[in-house]
Amino acid sequence: MLLIYCPYCEEERSELEFRQAGDAHIARPRNMTEMSDADFEAFFFLRDNVKGLTFERWRHLNGCGRFFNAARDTVSDKFLTTYKAGLPRPDISALRPAASSPVGTAPVETYEATEADAK
């Protein structure tokens, strides 16, 4: 169960209080009625299913009730940052943590990792 930092409550809370709400930074066009079918399709139906860094919306449903945005890595499941709705995408390059390996030898891949890479 994830811990999610709510930018409004200013602390980490259990995933149980939150709901995921789809991709972030997809603004509803102001000129809806003038959109072409292709533009509407792109706006409403088409989404990238990103492996790695993704920007998504969450709602602190059973908390402050606010929708907010998150940058999350879909491989590690880790949140890189969360930020209030309406703010632009943050600079993610500064947020990526470096892995540490005390033993100093190459890690042995478990099956999931090798399978995914093979694909």
Partner 1 sequence: MSELLRSELLGSDLSHARTLALAGRHGGLGAAALTPAAPATRLSLRAKPDAVETLSAALGISLPTRPKTSASSNGRHALWLGPDEWLVIDETEADLMAAAASSNVLHSATDVSHRNTAILVKGFGAEVAVNGGCPQDLTLAAFPINACSRTIFGKAEIVLLRTADDAFRIECWRSFSPYVFGLLSEAAEDAGN
Partner 2 sequence: MSGANRIPGAGRLTPAKTARFFFDGKSYAALEGDTVASALLANGVHLVGRSFKYHRPRGIVSAGAEEPNALIGVERDAARKQPNVRATVQDVFDGMKVVSQNRWPSLAFDVGAVNNLLAPFFAAGFYYKTFMWPKQAWKHVYEPQIRAAAGLGVSPTEDDTDHYSSRYAHCDVLVIGAGLAGLSAALAAAKTGARVIICDEQPEVGGALHYDKSVTIDGLDGFTWAQATAANLKRMTNVKVLPRTTAFGYYAQNFVGLNERVTEHLAKPDKKLPRERLWQVRAKRVIIATGAIERHMVFANNDRPGIMLASAARTFLNHFGVTVGKKIGVYTANDSAYEAAFDLKRAGVTIAAIVDSREKPGEGVLAEARALGIEVLTGHGVVNTSGNLRVSSMSVARNGGGAARSIAIDALLMSAGWTPSVHMFSQSRGKVAYDTETQRFLPGAYAQDCLSVGACNGTNDLQATIEESLAAGELTARASGYSASEKLELQGHNAFNWTGGMAGAAEGAGPDTTVKAFIDFQNDVCAKDIRLAVREGMHSIEHIKRFTTNGMATDQGKLSNIHGLAIAAETLGREIPKVGLTTFRAPYTPVTFGTLINHSRGELFDPTRKTPMHALEEAQGAVFEDVGQWKRAWYYARAGEDMHQAVNRECKTVRDVAGMFDASTLGKIEVVGPDAAQFLNLIYTNSWDTLKPGRCRYGIMLREDGFVYDDGVVGRLADDRFHVTTTTGGAARVMNHMEDYLQTEFPHLDVWLTSATEQWAVIAIQGPKAREIIAPLVDGIDLSNEAFPHMSVREGKICGVPTRLFRMSFTGELGFEVNVPADFGPAVWEAIRAQAEPLGACAYGTETMHVLRAEKGYIIVGQDTDGTVTPDDASLGWAVGKKKPDFVGIRGLRRPDLVADGRKQLVGLLTKDPKVVLEEGAQIVADPNQTVPMTMIGHVTSAYWSENCGRSIALALVAGGKARIGETLYVPMPDRTIAVEVSDMVFFDKEGGRLHV
Counting Cα atoms < 13 Å in the Cβ hemisphere of 78 gives 7
Question: Out of partner 2, partner 1, none, which partner does residue 46 contact, by CB within 5 to 8 A per kind?
Answer: none
Using CB under 8 A, pick the residue from 26, 35, 53, 64 that binds partner 1: 64
Nearest to 14, CA basis, from 73, 58, 69: 58
User: What count of Cα atoms within 13 Å lies in the side-chain half-sphere of residue 32?
Assistant: 3
Which of partner 2, partner 1, none does residue 93 bind (CB under 5 to 8 Å by kind)?
A: none
Name residues contacting partner 2, limited to 5-34 (CB under 8 A).
Answer: 14, 19, 21, 27-28, 32-33
Extract the tokens encoding 82: 């969360």
Select the binding partner of residue 9 from partner 1, partner 2, none (C-beta < 5 to 8 A, by kind).
Answer: partner 1
CA gap 2, 30 in Å, rounded = 35
Residue 16 near partner 1 by CB under 8 A: yes
Interacting residues of 106 by C-beta distance below 8 A, sequence separation 6+: none
**What is the nearest approach in angstroms of partner 2 to the Cβ of residue 106?**
7
Q: Amino acid letter at 76?
A: S
Tell me the number of residues near partner 2 by CB under 8 A. Answer: 40
Residues in the site for partner 1, rule: CB under 8 A? 1, 8-11, 13-14, 16-17, 62-66
